[in-house]
């Protein structure tokens, strides 16, 4: 029997992996992968909590919504990345320095 | 069951009108032939649709609060007033997009469609009553905004703005969801009122999990409001996006974020305890930082658009003060602030937009000697700048005064002093514009085409409420006072 702490541990590891990817990688597509990891960690948490703590369907429904919205976000994000690539011929985050910050 | 669901739609008429308008504009857009430049029917279609939504919202302002869709959304006077502000902001931005050259002609229809979509997200966020609707609202708002920011698709800066916006947005949404999942685990429900009840009695361990979760949760809202540790995207995105989009961004997503922050703070943290103490402490620190950083960064800008972007960060900090008050005083002064802020921002961006159409950039020097060329517009800009800085006879002063008096009543003297100092700092860069317009020689005599009679009268119509709200504020304040939150 897999218990709640194991699920939480796995999702925490996923979350940390996502954070590390976002901070360490300079490739924009890799950063978007990191975002997906974090979203999946959250979805796993919702599903685990709803299975073990409260027996209603709220958490499952939120997980489904997270999956759908993550897909939408990735679609728009990748479209913008392709635009950026066509203009700059690079998907390195350090090349996005046109705007002063 | 299904019939119940349909009956709920009667509470949801404004959103339905906006959605239908969006569909209508898509259909109308398809009827045009390829390469046709001006699409007046589309423009008027969206204007009429939004106006209908505005009228319906105004009519439903006095109705008793209800919840709809099995408690998923709450329709109360507070959310209705916020929706009115957002609808008016969208209306203004669409008018601005029609006359601005900053978005290329062939893609103007996209601005209208995407803008209406963002508006629907904002309306959902303003009336969110559980975590799922909150998340859906934030994502509807964000995903469409990424596309809006990169609307000028052959432009390097615009696509970079969209890229930065989508990366920051994705990260903050992910962090917010992770925090939310632990909140759901500890509090056991996604409904706001259930969560608020469970927050009152927690064990030590649960508090230890909840505090970091709420911190992560705040990242998502803070990113929408653009308050300080999460504001880095905002100046870049505001500068890279086309000007009407910038005007839109500084009103609709910001007001939606403020609305949800007020609702969360008041429904979750009205009872004394560790949680209330830590949340209010966080808000105080962040509000003070937001005001200070926003105003100090605005000083050294060359572009008016970027200056307005930083000043809008400062104003967001001011509005966050209203959430700290935790009561009717705070809510009504934030609403009043929002109404005035919407008119001032729209008018300031409109004038900047026409100057930018003429010269291709919007540096401060382009405004020099405006009073000798277009006295009406120079006076309008002066009134707006005075009002944004908070000088007495205008609405900005009344709004700031009410927020300050509310937080002083609660005993936050330090915050009030910081806010007052920030008002003084902001005076410097706002008055710089006025000084250039009045005391500098004019650069050239060319006619500024954008300032046609119609556009000038629209700008004057945007400035009149700023003056009227400053002189006869009691009536609007009474409306804002009636806009109570309904926690169910």
Domains of chain A: 7-93 (1.10.287.3510)
Residue A14 vs residues A5, A28, B15, B334, B426: alpha-carbon distances, Å: 14, 19, 37, 39, 44
Give contacts of B132 with chain A, Cβ < 8 Å. Answer: 58, 61-62, 65
pTM, two decimal places: 0.93
Q: So where are chain B's domains?
A: 2-482
CA–chain centroid gap for B18, Å, is 18
Q: Is the pLDDT of residue A58 over 80?
A: yes
What is the distance in angstroms between the Cα of A45 and the nearest Cα belonging to chain B?
Answer: 6
Give the list of residues 6+ apart from residue B222 with CB closer than 8 angstroms, or none.
B172, B229, B230, B286
Give contacts of B131 with chain A, Cβ < 8 Å. Answer: 62
Q: Is the pLDDT of residue A54 over 80?
A: no
Check CB contact under 8 Å for A72 and B171.
no
Give contacts of B118 with chain A, Cβ < 8 Å. Answer: none
Token pair belonging to B24: 């209508």
Give contacts of B136 with chain A, Cβ < 8 Å. Answer: 65, 69
Closest partner residue to A73 (CB to CB) among B132, B163, B170 is: B170
DSSP letter for B191, please.
Answer: B
The rounded average pLDDT for each run of 10 residues, N- to C-terminus, in chain B (488 residues) is: 73 92 89 71 90 93 85 90 94 87 70 93 92 93 92 84 91 93 90 87 88 92 88 86 90 93 90 87 93 90 87 91 87 92 93 85 82 86 92 89 92 92 91 87 72 86 90 84 76
Classify B326 as helix, strand or coil. Answer: coil
Give the list of residues 6+ apart from residue A24 with CB closer than 8 angstroms, or none.
none
What is the distance in angstroms between the Cα of A1 and the nearest Cα belonging to chain B?
Answer: 20
CB B228, CB B330: distance < 8 Å: no
Classify B130 as helix, strand or coil. Answer: strand
Question: A residues 41-80 near B, CB within 8 Å?
Answer: 41-43, 45-46, 48-50, 53-54, 58-59, 61-62, 65-66, 69, 72-73, 76-77, 79-80
Measured over the CA atoms of residue B454, residue B456, residue B462 and residue B464, the dihedral's sign is negative
Check CB contact under 8 Å for B181 and A84.
no
Tell me what pLDDT residue B14 has: 92
Classify B203 as helix, strand or coil. Answer: coil
Nearest partner of B71 among B191, B181, B226, B186, judged by Cα: B191
Burial class (CB in 10 A: 0-12, 13-18, 19+), B483: buried
Residue B170 in contact with partner chain A when CB distance is under 8 A: yes
Tell me what pLDDT residue B1 has: 54
Residue to test with chain A: of B135, B178, B210, most A Cβ within 10 A: B178
Q: Is the pLDDT of residue A101 over 60?
A: no
Tell me what pLDDT residue B442 has: 74
Token pair belonging to A91: 């998907």
Instruction: In whole angstroms, give the CA distance from residue B64 to residue B72.
Output: 17
Check CB contact under 8 Å for B177 and A72.
no
Tell me what pLDDT residue B107 has: 61
Tell me what pLDDT residue A62 has: 93
Check CB contact under 8 Å for A15 and B178.
yes
Instruction: In whole angstroms, give the CA distance from residue B379 to residue B375.
Output: 6
């Amino acid at each position: 029997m897999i218990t709640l702490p194991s699920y939480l541990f796995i999702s925490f590891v996923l979350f940390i992996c996502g954070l590390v990817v976002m901070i360490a990688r300079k490739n924009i597509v890799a950063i978007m992968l990191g975002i997906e990891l974090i979203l999946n960690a959250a979805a796993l948490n919702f599903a685990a909590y709803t299975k073990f703590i409260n027996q209603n369907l709220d958490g499952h429904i939120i997980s489904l919504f997270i999956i759908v919205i993550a897909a939408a976000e990735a679609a728009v994000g990748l479209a913008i990345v392709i635009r950026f690539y066509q203009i700059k011929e690079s998907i390195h985050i350090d090349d996005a320095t046109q705007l002063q910050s | 069951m299904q019939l119940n669901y349909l009956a709920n739609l009667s509470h949801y008429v404004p959103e339905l009108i906006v959605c239908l308008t969006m569909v209508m504009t898509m259909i109308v857009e398809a009827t045009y032939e390829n390469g046709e430049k001006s699409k007046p029917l589309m423009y008027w279609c969206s204007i009429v649709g939004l106006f209908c939504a505005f009228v319906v919202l105004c009519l439903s302002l006095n109705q008793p609060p209800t919840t709809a869709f099995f408690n998923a959304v709450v329709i109360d006077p507070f959310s209705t007033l916020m929706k009115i502000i957002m609808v008016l902001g969208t209306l203004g931005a669409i008018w601005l997009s029609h006359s601005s050259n900053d978005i290329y002609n062939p893609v103007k229809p996209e601005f209208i469609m995407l803008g209406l979509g963002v508006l629907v997200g904002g309306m959902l966020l303003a009336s969110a009553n559980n975590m799922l609707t909150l998340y859906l609202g934030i994502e509807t708002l964000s995903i469409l905004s990424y596309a809006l920011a990169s609307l000028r698709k052959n432009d390097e800066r615009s696509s970079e703005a969209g890229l930065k916006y989508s990366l920051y947005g994705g990260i903050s949404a992910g962090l917010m969801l992770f925090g939310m999942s632990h909140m759901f685990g500890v509090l056991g429900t996604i409904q706001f009122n259930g969560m608020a009840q469970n927050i009152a009695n927690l064990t030590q361990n649960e508090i230890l999990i909840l505090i970091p979760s709420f911190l992560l949760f705040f990242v998502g809202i803070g990113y929408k409001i653009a308050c300080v540790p999460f504001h880095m995207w905002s100046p870049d995105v505001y500068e890279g996006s086309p000007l009407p989009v910038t005007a839109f961004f500084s009103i609709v997503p910001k007001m939606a974020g403020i609305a949800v922050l007020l609702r969360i703070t008041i429904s979750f943290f009205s009872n004394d305890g560790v949680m209330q103490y830590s949340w209010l402490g966080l808000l105080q620190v962040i509000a003070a930082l937001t005001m200070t950083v926003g105003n100090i960064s605005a000083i050294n800008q060359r572009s008016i658009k970027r200056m307005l972007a930083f000043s809008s960060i400062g104003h967001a900090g001011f509005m966050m003060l209203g959430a700290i008050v935790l009561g009717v005083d705070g809510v009504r002064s934030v609403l009043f602030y929002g109404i005035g802020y919407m008119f001032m921002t729209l008018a300031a961006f409109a004038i900047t937009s026409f100057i930018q159409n003429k010269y291709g950039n919007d540096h401060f020097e382009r405004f020099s000697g405006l009073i000798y060329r277009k006295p009406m517009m120079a006076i309008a800009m002066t009134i707006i700048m005075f009002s944004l800085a908070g000088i007495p006879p205008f609405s900005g002063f009344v709004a700031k005064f009410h927020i300050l008096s509310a937080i002083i009543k609660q005993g936050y003297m330090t915050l009030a002093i910081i806010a007052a100092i920030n008002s003084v700092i902001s005076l410097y860069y706002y008055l710089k514009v006025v000084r250039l317009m009045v005391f500098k020689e004019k650069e050239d005599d060319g006619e500024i085409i954008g300032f046609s009679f119609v556009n000038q009268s629209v700008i004057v119509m945007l400035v009149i409420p700023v003056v009227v709200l400053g002189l006869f504020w009691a009536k609007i304040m009474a409306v804002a006072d009636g806009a109570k939150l309904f926690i169910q």
